[in-house]
A and B are shown apart, each in its own frame.
Chain A
Amino acid sequence: MPPKTLDQIMEGRRSQPNQLIEVLQDIQKTYGYISKEDMQSVSQELGVPVIEVYRVASFYKAFRLKPSGKHVLTLCMGTACYVRSARLLLDQATGQLGVKPREVTPGGLFSIEHVNCLGACALGPIVEENGTYHHHMTPGKLRTLIETLRRQKLEDKENVQA
């Protein structure tokens, strides 16, 4: 389990500027994104200028500065996936959800990310969703996956109402 509060994340790392990336990784993992306030606290606790924290957070792709959707669809755009038509998947996802990569659908259910390699090249094209790798994806399979996730949301709602 990742630590819950910023205090717990900072534990044992205060005043150690070299821990900046590690701290941001943990914040990202816990909260799904890194807020401006968190960056300011991290800057103070580690003794790193706030511009440096902002630079690091904006430099690495692993960090998001805005909240992401509930379901993050990570499309692998590595070479191996690309030559197996991963571009179709990007067209499918953006077309079906109506948002561009790194954007969140209205209502916050989905967001699309594309990464440069997930390292499962032999099984490409790969789509990762909440830790699950979907391999040998086709636009059709992706459409079904998105529809299934959408329905889950609806069912959850009905369960709550019932």
Chain B
Amino acid sequence: MSRLNSARELEHLREHLREKRKDITTTVMVCGGTGCQASRSRVLINAVKEELTRLGLEERVRLCATGCHGFCEQGPVVVIEPSNVFYCHVSPDDAFEIVYQTIMNGKLIDRLLYVDPTSGKKVRTQSEIPFYRAQDRQILSQNLMIDPCSIEDYIVAGGYSALVKVLNGVTPEQIIKEIKAAGLRGRGGGGFPTGRKWSECWEAPGDEKYVICNADEGDPGAYMDRCVLEGNPHLILEGMMIGAKAVGARKGYIYVRNEYPLAVEHSRIAIEQARELGLLGDNILGSSFSFDMDIARGGGAFVCGESTALMASVEGKVGEPRPKDVHTVVDGLYHKPTTLNNVETWANVPAIILKGSSWFASKGSQGSKGTKILALTGRIKNTGLVEVAMGMPINQVVFDIGGGGVNGKQIKAVQIGGPSGGCLPVEKFDLPVDFDVLAEAGSMVGSGGMVVMDEESCMVDVAKYFLTFLQDESCGKCLPCRVGVGRMLEIIGEITEGRGRLEQLDLLEELAETVSQTSLCGLGKTAPNPVLTTLRYFRPEYEAHIKEKKCPAGVCKALITYQIVPDRCNGCGVCLRACIHKAITGKKQKSHVINARLCQKCGICRSECKFDAIQVV
């Protein structure tokens, strides 16, 4: 494709591409996101392609390997347009049947249809599935129609129209005013008003400015940024171009984790394609606006999600945060004014410009506008990416969309916002997903990871897990975060081992306050949140560990023992073979015994036993 020299040429290209596709009667969309690739969707895509070629259907049927659809639990997922048929758990062997039966003869394949777990009925289309029904998929729905490696798909779907709009005589002030009016707040953590950030950066003195996209999604349990960047990289590019125009930047970076190879590859391809069409480079679409971008790969450090650490990392340095007495919008990358937003924030920009701020502001709650993608994971029936209007109560997300707990277990808590967020108990599930309300409850929307926990999770152990994580991920520069978090972990470790004292809970709270108030960066300032929220909402669990030396959930190794219930054990020998410490003995067909002296309490035997014969006491 040749370089486009004006907005009109882009429109011509769009019309030309649409014209070329007018003979296509059916589109098969196979999810090629990382989740579904783990379920062998690559093989499936090739198999469908072969079948289409073999039956001579390539002209009429378009096969589209899309980004993540969100319902990863059911992967690989296939959607067939225009009838909107939704197939799940599709295997490569099903390719022939899908092409022959459904595409050629319009028949449904019963066994590939989704079964509604509440009603037990089979469901034909996506919109009938409870998981999708309550969602408002503004960003995620675009993933469905687009092959992330094809700029043509993006243009056909109306892409780069927002860019055309801002290049057409719109001033930076007008863009910023629109973003401010929309009430867009940062989707990466703190929820800082995006418009204010942009206007401060625009006002900052200096000719050289930068925009950065933070795709260093380090929050364990959140993967919406991966999904959007992987599934629709041009959307991010377009958002960043608009941002660059607004703040006056000529150069941008996408900072992406190296653990996301597909996201790195897709954004690299997207940048090359955009350059080829002249959507990046000098005088974009014949305007006076010039902008180019590059990818910077992160090296696996959670702290690099912090703005100053991220910028140090882009500069090729150690990702240590520095004091932010002067904000990064004034003194950022290479000490130049820099606007940093995360993937989801950038993804919201083009739609705001195209559809207007009032459209965006009509969704959401008082202080939190628009939609938010949540990663619903953990001990819950329907896991995956969920996009809802902000302000939806947690109840609705967990029970209506998520379908409730697995194996009939009681849901106990939800951890929102990753290691910087907090655990909210089931009694607080009437709270809405709202930046300010959740912050008041001690948690935060953060990047939007929602990990559901049930009665099998020990909340003290969860606090310990997060502290261990943060101790590992702290850069170690400042004393409260490095030593303070370590000391908190030491205290919690004693509690989980049954050596805790009640007065340590007060010390824990005092230390938590000191760490959160005096740490250098956001990581340290929020590090005590998991401890503070579990202490606030699950104090009885802490007290059980201390007073009764018991772990109510049966997790903390020092406080439990494993036993085989003789009546239930039929001597199948699975546990005996599974035990890596050789702690289980017994003859075939006879009830087995655990040798308490050798048992390391890993619990592998219990997870392997099919007869539920191993108990925690």
Partners in one complex: yes
Q: Does B378 contact A (CB under 8 A)?
A: yes
Say whether B297 contacts A25, CB under 8 Å: yes
Say whether A88 contacts B607, CB under 8 Å: yes
Say whether A62 contacts B299, CB under 8 Å: yes
Say whether A60 contacts B319, CB under 8 Å: yes
Say whether B315 contacts A126, CB under 8 Å: no
Say whether A120 contacts B603, CB under 8 Å: no
- For A24, list chain B residues within 8 Å (CB): 299
- For A19, list chain B residues within 8 Å (CB): 316
Q: Does B453 contact A (CB under 8 A)?
A: yes
Say whether B259 contacts A117, CB under 8 Å: yes
B381 to chain A, nearest CB (A): 11
Select one of A81, A87, A115 contacting B259, CB under 8 A.
A115
Interface string of B457-485 (1 = CB under 8 A from A): 10000100110010011010000000000
- For B378, list chain A residues within 8 Å (CB): 79-80, 83-84
Nearest chain-A residue to B603 (Cβ)? A88
Q: Does A67 contact B (CB under 8 A)?
A: no
Select one of A62, A132, A134 contacting B258, CB under 8 A.
A62
Of residues A60, A80, A131, A140, which shows the largest number of chain B Cβ atoms within 10 Å of its Cβ?
A80
Stretch with Cβ within 8 A of A (4 or more), from B30-38, B136-144, B267-275: B30-38
Say whether B313 contacts A123, CB under 8 Å: no
Given A79-B220, A79-B378, A117-B221, also A92-B457 (CB < 8 A): no
- For A95, list chain B residues within 8 Å (CB): 580-581, 600, 602
Q: Does B152 contact A (CB under 8 A)?
A: no
B243 to chain A, nearest CB (A): 22
Q: Does A35 contact B (CB under 8 A)?
A: no
Given A17-B316, A79-B465, A115-B300, also A124-B377 (CB < 8 A): yes
- For B469, list chain A residues within 8 Å (CB): 116
Say whether A21 contacts B316, CB under 8 Å: yes
B613 to chain A, nearest CB (A): 16
Select one of A82, A121, A140, A143 contacting B223, CB under 8 A.
A121
A-B pairs, top 9 by smallest CB distance, nearest first, are: A60-B299, A95-B580, A78-B220, A133-B38, A61-B300, A80-B377, A122-B72, A20-B316, A91-B602
Say whether A116 contacts B220, CB under 8 Å: yes
Interface string of A99-128 (1 = CB under 8 A from B): 000000000000000011111111110100
**Sample of 30 A–B contacts (CB below 8 Å):** A20-B317, A25-B297, A48-B316, A56-B316, A56-B318, A59-B301, A59-B318, A60-B299, A60-B319, A61-B300, A62-B258, A78-B220, A80-B375, A91-B580, A91-B603, A92-B580, A92-B602, A115-B300, A116-B302, A119-B226, A119-B257, A121-B220, A121-B222, A121-B451, A122-B376, A122-B385, A123-B38, A123-B75, A134-B38, A140-B578
- For A124, list chain B residues within 8 Å (CB): 377
Say whether A96 contacts B35, CB under 8 Å: no
Interface residues of A (CB under 8 A from B): 17-22, 24-25, 48, 52, 55-56, 59-63, 77-85, 87-88, 91-92, 95-96, 115-124, 126, 131-135, 138-140, 143
Give complex CA distance A101, B190 in Å: 33
Nearest chain-B residue to A117 (Cβ)? B220
Q: How many A-B residue pairs have CB under 8 A?
A: 176
Give complex CA distance A21, B298 in Å: 8
A27 to chain B, nearest CB (A): 12
Give complex CA distance A140, B608 in Å: 7
Say whether A139 contacts B299, CB under 8 Å: no
Say whether A83 contacts B317, CB under 8 Å: no
Q: Does B112 contact A (CB under 8 A)?
A: no
Select one of B301, B316, B385 contacting A61, CB under 8 A.
B301
Say whether B379 contacts A60, CB under 8 Å: no
Say whether B221 contacts A80, CB under 8 Å: yes
- For A55, list chain B residues within 8 Å (CB): 318
Nearest chain-B residue to A26 (Cβ)? B297
A115 to chain B, nearest CB (A): 6
Say whether A83 contacts B453, CB under 8 Å: yes
Select one of A18, A118, A133, A139 contacting B316, CB under 8 A.
A18
- For A63, list chain B residues within 8 Å (CB): 299
Say whether B377 contacts A119, CB under 8 Å: no
Of residues A52, A117, A139, which shows the largest number of chain B Cβ atoms within 10 Å of its Cβ?
A117
- For B302, list chain A residues within 8 Å (CB): 116
A47 to chain B, nearest CB (A): 11
B220 to chain A, nearest CB (A): 3
Give complex CA distance A132, B375 in Å: 22
Q: Does B415 contact A (CB under 8 A)?
A: yes
Select one of A18, A60, A121 contacting B377, CB under 8 A.
A121
